[in-house]
Amino acid sequence: MTKSDLHSNHCPTQSDHLCMPEEARKRARHRLSIARGHLESIVKMLDAEDVYCVDVLRQIRAVQGALSGASDVVLRGHLEAHVATAAERGDTVEMVDELMEALRYR
């Protein structure tokens, strides 16, 4: 990876800022849209007086799985574009502190 490749990790509009890689952004957006639709359907399911608890638990679990999947897409993009290049930029400690904090209670 050359110095100019590194610059592509920076935002198109703000050169002093790290940006999410475009492919990860689009894939995460797509997955989160689907999870939102699923969550919308659970809210409607709860309008029915005869809904059963365990069916709701299962549906919530499915949405949580979808969110974990979206989170993995974002994490992978972040590791590849920003964490793997930290030693080159010289901000390893800051990048790792920030990531460990975001992964806590995962």
Sites for a second copy among residues 3-22 (CB under 8 A): 6, 11-14, 17-20, 22
Smallest gap from Cβ 27 to a second copy, in A, equals 10
Residues 51-80 interacting with a second copy (rule: CB under 8 A)? 51-54, 56-58, 60-61, 63-65, 67-68, 70-72, 74-80
Tokens of 91: 């901000």
Q: How far is the CB of 7 from a second copy (least distance, A)?
A: 13
Quote the least distance from Cβ 15 to a second copy, whole Å: 11
Q: Quick one: three-class SS letters along the chain? A: CCHHHHHCCECCCCCCCECCCHHHHHHHHHHHHHHHHHHHHHHHHCCCCCCCHHHHHHHHHHHHHHHHHHHHHHHHHHHHHHHCCHHHHCCHHHHHHHHHHHHCCC
Is 92 among the residues that bind a second copy (CB under 8 A)? yes
Which one, 7 or 100, has the nearer CB to a second copy?
100
